[in-house]
Amino acid sequence: MLPLATVNQRLAQYALDSAVELPILHFNYHSIRTDALSSGLIQSANNRLYDVDGRNPYQLNTAFGVAASTTDLPSAQASFIVRPALFFTNTGRTVATVQADFADG
């Protein structure tokens, strides 16, 4: 992930545009499995957790989020934009299309 200051600088580049930016976060990350200790995938010693050689106690997770860059809309009608510079990922993927269904509001 980029430093927060870099993310904020990228957002600031477009702050005066009339369209509302939609930054996207798409990250893969690992967490310890909930059964890792009971399944012998990790061991506990002196209140610390340690990997067990040859065992994988981790599971792959994905975080995905999209949020408007502002809470104030310029008018009753808003235009939204997704920019490659505001797509933050460690997956190697790119955005091909974006669809949104705002339903009734």
Q: Which two tokens stand for residue 78?
A: 């808003």
Question: Whole-angstrom Cα distance, residue 105 to residue 103?
Answer: 6
> Could you report the per-residue pLDDT of 91-103, keeping only the tens digit for each?
998 888 888 887 7
Positive/negative CA dihedral, 41, 46, 47, 49: negative
Positive/negative CA dihedral, 23, 28, 34, 37: negative
Identify the CA nearest to 31 among candidates 63, 61, 1.
61
Residues in the chain: 105
> Could you report the per-residue pLDDT of 22-74, keeping only the tens digit for each?
999 999 999 999 999 999 999 999 999 999 999 999 999 999 999 888 888 76
